[in-house]
């Protein structure tokens, strides 16, 4: 069978074998000993011609309820937002997406400059000095931040708020097991980190205090106070932050955070069932040489012309091997490009506008849902675009009924928090209209 990705002809094969001086390609595999050779055919489905392949893939894709078909109030770390059309067009340019990591800067200036701009924009939003070129995702970036704190402070205890994304906390535990630091959970109080408890628990052995802002329950933490507790014990303040919210929220950098991480998914990246998204990692000048992963720096060429290169590579695995600051090699560069295009498209004004729209819609929705009997607002805390309601009965059941009315309901908090059984985390982004919020309220009223 001939394949469209394989240009070899019989004539080519003949000539090439002749040049090599063998009769068959089989001879080129002679080094594979017979006792480990695979004979026979791999038991995977037979090749599909493109038209049939398209049908098959469309059928699979069609079995999934997608966000174009439903009105969604589901967030919990992954959000449906406005994606300007330009984002898709730029990341579909194959000069970008078919390139490898920019190892040869002379022919990779486009990627390098785009990443330099990404780093700059992340610094602007977070209020930090430096940022790297991306991490796998927000949750793994958070674990890398803990690892940095552990190796920098040489202290063992990493305090993490229970209001940090549950999956990020799980990954932190896996990471801690490998590296040998200790993870201590700070309990909640009324939907935010319990600072009195943190004050009691933190001690000289504090490597880091990790909080999320806005936190997983949507609420805003008191970063000023948390900073004082973390730094009193010479631990690092690590803040995981939704970068879209930083369009209007006071950035963690203004609260003297040492590391700010998060996921740039809200910035022009489609949900894609959870990935690929784009972790970001920003820190202070003081910790610059401890950053994980690739970093782009500005320099000049032999003619004095400005250009960009991968830099500070003495931190990285290909140079330092077992002493590297991290094992990360490939990252999520194309998604960082998407986020860059998004931040350029929204720009200074748009990032404020979109963040404010989120606040307005979510605050209106919360007020509206507070009037629905049988549902209760769980917390009265300052929040961004998500809030918690208590449901009479099971969230799963409520969501099943909502789905029949074309609505994807909020996240079932009981799945990750024993204390939030029958609680739903409702996300309301700028895309939700008053009419859709009204629909949700009416649908919920109708359930009783």
Partner 1 sequence: MSKETAKQLIFEMSQPGRISYSLPASDVPETEGLPAQFMREVPAELPEVAELDLMRHYTELSRRNHGIDNGFYPLGSCTMKYNPKINEDVARYPGFSKIHPYQAEETAQGALQLLFELQQDLSEITGMDDVTVQSAAGAQGEWTGLMMIRAYHEGRGDLMRNKVIVPDSAHGTNPASATVAGFETITIPSNEKGLVDVEALKEVLGNDTAALMMTNPNTLGLFEEEIKLIADLVHEAGGLLYYDGANANAILGYARPGDMGFDVVHLNLHKTFTTPHGGGGPGAGPVGVKKDLMPYLPKPMVRQREDGSYFFDHDMPQSIGRIKGYYGNFGILVRAYTYIRTMGPDGLKQVSEYAVLNANYMMHRLAPYFDVPFTQNCKHEFVLSGNRQKKQGVRTLDMAKRLLDFGYHPPTIYFPLIVDECLMIEPTETESKETLDKFIDAMIQIAREAEETPEIVQEAPHHTIVRRLDEVTAARKPVLRYSKS
Q: Which residues bind ligand PLP (CB under 6 A)?
A: 329-330
What is the closest distance, in whole angstroms, from the C-beta atom of residue 337 to ligand PLP in the complex?
A: 17
Which of ligand PLP, partner 1, none does 147 bind, CB closer than 5 to 8 A by kind? partner 1
x-or-dash pattern for partner 1, window 324-353, by CB under 8 A? x-xxxxxxxxxx-x---x-xxxxxxxxxxx
Site for partner 1 in 108-137 (CB under 8 A): 108-111, 113-117, 119-121, 123-125, 129-131, 133-134, 136-137
Should residue 82 be labelled a site residue for partner 1 when binding is judged by CB under 8 A? Answer: yes
The SS3 assignment for 424 reads strand
Q: Binding partner 1 by CB under 8 A: which of 183, 184, 201, 220?
A: 220
Of 296 and 346, the one with the shorter C-beta distance to ligand PLP is: 296
The whole-angstrom separation of Cα 270 and Cα 146 is: 27
The SS3 assignment for 353 reads helix
**Strand pairing of 279-283 and 130-131?**
antiparallel
What is the closest distance, in whole angstroms, from the C-beta atom of residue 314 to partner 1 in the complex?
A: 7
Whether 156 contacts 184, CB under 8 Å:
no
Region binding partner 1 by CB under 8 A among candidate stretches 6-14, 153-161, 184-192, 204-212: 6-14
Of 333 and 337, the one with the shorter C-beta distance to ligand PLP is: 333
Whether 292 contacts 285, CB under 8 Å:
no
Site for partner 1 in 197-216 (CB under 8 A): none
Residues, the chain: 448
Whole-angstrom CA distances from 209 to 147, 227, 242, 437 are: 12, 8, 18, 36
Should residue 158 be labelled a site residue for partner 1 when binding is judged by CB under 8 A? Answer: no
Of 41 and 200, the one with the shorter C-beta distance to partner 1 is: 41
What is the closest distance, in whole angstroms, from the C-beta atom of residue 317 to ligand PLP in the complex?
A: 8
The whole-angstrom separation of Cα 220 and Cα 188 is: 13
Tokens coding 356 = 């404010």
Of 7 and 373, the one with the shorter C-beta distance to partner 1 is: 7
> What is residue 219's DSSP assignment?
B
Should residue 442 be labelled a site residue for partner 1 when binding is judged by CB under 8 A? Answer: no
Tokens coding 378 = 């769980």
Of 325 and 399, the one with the shorter C-beta distance to ligand PLP is: 325
Whole-angstrom CA distances from 330 to 102, 126, 133, 321 are: 11, 24, 10, 15
x-or-dash pattern for partner 1, window 15-54, by CB under 8 A? xxx-xxx---x-xxxxxxx-xxxx--xxxxxxxx-x--xx
Whole-angstrom CA distances from 165 to 19, 57, 78, 218 are: 59, 32, 11, 11
What is the closest distance, in whole angstroms, from the C-beta atom of residue 276 to ligand PLP in the complex?
A: 13
Of 107 and 448, the one with the shorter C-beta distance to partner 1 is: 107
Cis peptide upstream of residue 351 (ω within 30 degrees of 0): no
The whole-angstrom separation of Cα 83 and Cα 203 is: 44
Region binding partner 1 by CB under 8 A among candidate stretches 86-94, 156-164, 189-197, 203-211: 86-94
Tokens coding 377 = 């607002």
Of 189 and 330, the one with the shorter C-beta distance to ligand PLP is: 330
What is the closest distance, in whole angstroms, from the C-beta atom of residue 440 to partner 1 in the complex?
A: 13
What is the closest distance, in whole angstroms, from the C-beta atom of residue 181 to partner 1 in the complex?
A: 11
Which of partner 1, ligand PLP, none does 125 bind, CB closer than 5 to 8 A by kind? partner 1
Q: Binding partner 1 by CB under 8 A: which of 146, 257, 430, 444?
A: 430
Site for partner 1 in 228-287 (CB under 8 A): 246-251, 254, 263, 270-277
Which of partner 1, ligand PLP, none does 145 bind, CB closer than 5 to 8 A by kind? none
- Residues touching partner 1, count (CB under 8 A): 209
The whole-angstrom separation of Cα 316 and Cα 124 is: 25
Which of partner 1, ligand PLP, none does 376 bind, CB closer than 5 to 8 A by kind? none
Of 114 and 158, the one with the shorter C-beta distance to partner 1 is: 114
What is the closest distance, in whole angstroms, from the C-beta atom of residue 408 to partner 1 in the complex?
A: 6
Should residue 405 be labelled a site residue for partner 1 when binding is judged by CB under 8 A? Answer: no
The total of other beta-carbon atoms located within 10 Å of residue 441's CB is 17
The whole-angstrom separation of Cα 29 and Cα 337 is: 41
Should residue 307 be labelled a site residue for partner 1 when binding is judged by CB under 8 A? Answer: yes
CA atoms within 13 A of residue 202's CA, in its CB half-sphere: 27
Whether 351 contacts 344, CB under 8 Å:
no
Nearest residue to 409 via CA among 431, 428, 433, 383: 428
Question: Containing H/E element for 114?
Answer: helix 109-126
């Amino acid at each position: 069978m001939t394949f469209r990705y394989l240009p070899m002809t019989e004539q080519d094969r003949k000539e090439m074998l002749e040049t090599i001086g063998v009769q068959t390609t089989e001879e080129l595999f002679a080094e594979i000993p017979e006792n480990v050779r695979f004979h026979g055919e791999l038991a995977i489905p037979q090749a599909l011609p493109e038209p049939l392949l398209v049908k098959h893939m469309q059928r699979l894709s069609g079995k999934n309820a997608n966000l174009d078909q439903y009105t969604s109030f589901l967030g919990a770390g992954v959000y449906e937002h406005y994606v300007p059309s330009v984002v898709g067009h730029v990341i579909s340019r194959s000069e970008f997406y078919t390139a490898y990591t920019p190892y040869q800067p002379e022919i990779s200036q486009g990627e390098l400059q785009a990443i330099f701009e990404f780093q700059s924009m992340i610094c602007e939003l977070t209020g930090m000095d430096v940022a790297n070129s991306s991490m796998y995702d927000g949750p793994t970036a958070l674990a890398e931040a803990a690892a940095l704190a552990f190796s920098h402070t040489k202290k063992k205890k990493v305090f993490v708020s229970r209001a940090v994304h549950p999956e990020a906390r799980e990954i932190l535990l896996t990471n801690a097991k490998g590296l040998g630091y200790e993870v201590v959970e700070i309990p909640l109080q009324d939907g935010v980190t319990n600072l009195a408890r943190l004050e009691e628990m933190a001690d000289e052995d504090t490597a880091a205090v990790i909080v999320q802002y806005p936190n997983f329950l949507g609420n805003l933490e008191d970063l000023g106070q948390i900073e004082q507790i973390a730094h009193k014990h010479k631990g690092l303040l690590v803040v995981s932050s939704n970068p879209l919210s930083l369009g209007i929220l006071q950035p963690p950098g203004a609260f003297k955070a040492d590391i700010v991480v998060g996921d740039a998914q809200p910035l022009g990246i489609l949900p894609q069932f959870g990935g690929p998204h784009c972790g970001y990692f920003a820190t202070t000048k003081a910790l610059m040489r401890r950053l994980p992963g690739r970093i782009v720096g500005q320099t000049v060429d032999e003619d004095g012309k400005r250009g960009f290169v991968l830099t500070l590579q003495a931190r990285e695995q290909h140079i330092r091997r077992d002493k590297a600051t991290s094992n990360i090699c490939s990252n999520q560069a194309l998604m960082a490009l998407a986020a860059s295009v998004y931040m350029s498209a929204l720009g200074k004004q748009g990032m404020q506008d979109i963040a404010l729209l989120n606040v307005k819609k979510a605050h209106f929705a919360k007020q509206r849902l507070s009037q629905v009997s049988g549902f209760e607002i769980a917390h009265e805390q300052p929040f961004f675009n998500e809030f918690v309601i208590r449901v009479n009965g099971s969230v799963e059941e409520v969501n099943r009924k909502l789905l029949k009315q074309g609505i994807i309901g909020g996240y079932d908090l009981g799945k990750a928090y024993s204390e939030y059984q029958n609680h739903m985390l409702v996300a309301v982004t700028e895309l939700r209209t008053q009419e859709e919020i009204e629909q949700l309220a009416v649908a919920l009223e109708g359930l009783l």
